[in-house]
Amino acid sequence: MKLTPLFVGALTLALATSASAQTLTIATVNNGDMVRMQGLSSAFTADTGIELNWVVLEENTLRQNVTTDIATNGGQYDVMTIGTYEAPIWAKQGWLVPLDGLSADAAYDVDDLLPPIRDGLSYEGKLYAAPFYGESSMVMYRKDLMEKAGLTMPDAPTWEFIGEAARAMTDRANDINGICLRGKAGWGENMAFLTAMSNSFGARWFDESWKPQFDQPEWKSTLDTYLSLMADAGPAGASSNGFNENLTLFQQGKCGMWIDATVAASFVINPTDSTVADQVGFALAPDNGLGKRGNWLWAWSLAIPTSSQNQDAAVQFINWATNKAYLETVAAQDGWANVPPGTRASLYANADYQAAAPFAKMTLDSINSANPSEPTVQPVPYTGVQFVAIPEFAGIATNVGQLFSAALAGQMSADDALAQAQDAATRDMTRAGYIK
């Protein structure tokens, strides 16, 4: 068959249209900043012609889905939202595409990324995930309730003060809980909080021979303090509460204090969503005088699995979502206080951001104070602040989290939860070959 110029032109146009109609499938978490990103993404599609298929999931479900997909080379997603735990482990396995294009892009300015955040997302000096927002954890509290209780929140409180304040602010008759803390089971839910808390109590997951330490007094002190605090001053049904549930409670005025991710700061002072926006103060995560605070280090980040068939387009999307211009886009729409925090030094040097975000310095100080290389008071063979950077940790900590959540729900004692955690972790670490 003879191809006429008209036919060739039509074929060329059809192929070009097909190429431009590329679709990326993006798996992300249902946190506020990600929901905002989804809402703004039509501008990316308009500029590039790349369509976006969003899979927005609850935190525990997201982790399960993306872990299964990448470990089986499933190819279901082109862009995955992962964290500081997964990035170096999956990069070592060869499961992630190195973001060399971003690193070489002067406009993207990878050197502007905060060193603790960038280092946590790198493997052998290469960036494998781009941070969408970074966080530590801190105390958010009601200034009016603190004043009513006759107390003043220090910038750097102790756990003893937190306990005193929480009990003093509790007013069950008016549905006010002195404190809201994570109770929902999951290695990234209640165990993120409890692991960070345990560091400040001198506890550790494993000793230098990789033997679990839940039978040691430091973990008992951690869990007893947590359970007692939640029984005296926490909300009903706390064993079902994670980040989003506690955020809602705090915004509704039902929590005197909330110790959680620094990223929540902009949500609790937003008068559109928070009934207590003008009464919120901030403080560093508590300590016990042992040299470690109960704060973590994390970044929700965007990465490309090697199974993606749309890697070039995925890089374009990640560039759009995590560069400096995106922060300015959010600021123009929702104000500087609502831009994704914790990723870029330039943001914390921005006078407009400093003026709009009273939590900026506290967030940066919390991020910079977390030390993944020395997370505990006593020596340990692992890195990671609220997690242990080994592949087996997610499974082990999920099991432990279920036990501690059951103790919070009154289904078992603290001693039983710790004993079962010790047995289960010892069994799993022996099977994995860590304990000889």
**283-314 tens-digit pLDDT:** 999 999 999 999 999 999 999 999 999 999 99
pLDDT tens profile 85-119: 999 999 999 999 999 999 899 999 999 999 999 99
Residue 66: other Cβ atoms inside 10 A = 25
* pLDDT exceeds 60 at position 7: no
* pLDDT exceeds 80 at position 19: no
Instruction: Look up residue 411 and give its DSSP letter.
Output: S
Query: Which is higher by pLDDT, 215 or 5?
Result: 215
Average pLDDT over the chain reads 94
Dihedral (C-alpha) 116, 262, 342, 335: value to the nearest 10 degrees?
A: -170
pLDDT at 154: 97
* pLDDT exceeds 50 at position 12: no
* pLDDT exceeds 80 at position 13: no
pLDDT-wise least confident of 18-22, 100-104, 353-357, 396-400: 18-22
For the segment 146-170, the average pLDDT, to the nearest whole number, is 98
pLDDT tens profile 58-73: 999 999 999 999 999 9
Residue 398: other Cβ atoms inside 10 A = 18
pLDDT at 304: 98
Collect all residues with Cβ–Cβ distance below 8 Å to 4 and sequence separation of at least 6: none
Dihedral (C-alpha) 253, 254, 260, 261: value to the nearest 10 degrees?
A: -30
Distance CA 204, CA 200 (A): 10
* pLDDT exceeds 50 at position 29: yes
Over the Cα atoms of the chain, what is R_g?
23
Q: Fill in the amino acid letter for 56.
A: V
pLDDT at 103: 87
* Phi/psi at 55 (5° precision): -120, 100
390 band by pLDDT with thresholds 50, 70 and 90:
very high
Q: Fill in the amino acid letter for 381.
A: P
* pLDDT exceeds 70 at position 232: yes
* pLDDT exceeds 60 at position 9: no
Give yes or no for a contact between 321 and 331, defined as CB atoms under 8 angstroms apart. no
pLDDT at 6: 39
Distance CA 267, CA 284 (A): 18
pLDDT at 14: 38
pLDDT at 21: 67
Percent residues over pLDDT 90 in the chain: 94
